[in-house]
Amino acid sequence: MSFSGKIVWITGASSGIGKALALELSKQEAKIILSSRKKEDLELVKQQCKNVNDVKIITLDLEDYNNLQPKVDAAIALFGKIDILVNNGGISQRSFAKDTLISVDKRIMDINYLGTVALSKALLPHFIENKMGHFVVTTSIVGKIGTPLRSSYAASKHALHGFFDSLRAEHHNDNIAVTLVCPGFVNTNISKNG
């Protein structure tokens, strides 16, 4: 698949997988929208991209999932459309279920699941209208097989699989693709921050 000229919106783009993906897509001549909560970090990523004129920034907080429609409208306005949304933003957790406060479970579900779903649902009408679009979702191998110390994180990733598998089936005839990416351990700060 050629990414030349494609408009790709990446959440969680200030570091880790999102940053690496942005840098690679910029080499492949994509037009990129970078999003995360950290504007300064996004600016640094933008400056490392091949063509900074084809890179735009929209700050957003997935935890604020009731207010993402204006972010979607602003993102579409930047280049006139969006071809691919890479749902990469999220947080992690490392603790035994018995030691994890329910407030932690809720925050992980709010960000990893509800934020990702709300952003995707806000963009979905745009994809339907254009009769094309691609949702890429960074989940995890623990979205398939739960492991110790990852109960809340695994639950949020399992939920993404259920939602996006259903979405794929519902909108197959609209030429809307869904790709679930399930990495194992990655050497980024998400594990340290968990």
Report residue 124 as tokens: 């979905």
Going by their DSSP bridges, the two strands 55-57 and 84-87 should be labelled as unpaired
How far the first Cα of the chain sits from its last, in Å, is 34
Concatenated DSSP letters of 19-58? HHHHHHHHHTT-EEEEESS-HHHHHHHHHHSS-GGGEEE-
Give catalytic status of residue 65 as yes or no: no
Contact between 10 and 35 under an 8 Å Cβ cutoff? The reply is yes
Annotated active-site residue in 3, 113, 135, 153: 153
- Rounded Cα distance between 83 and 31, Å, is 10
Question: Amino acid identity, residue 77?
Answer: A
The residues carrying an active-site annotation are: 153
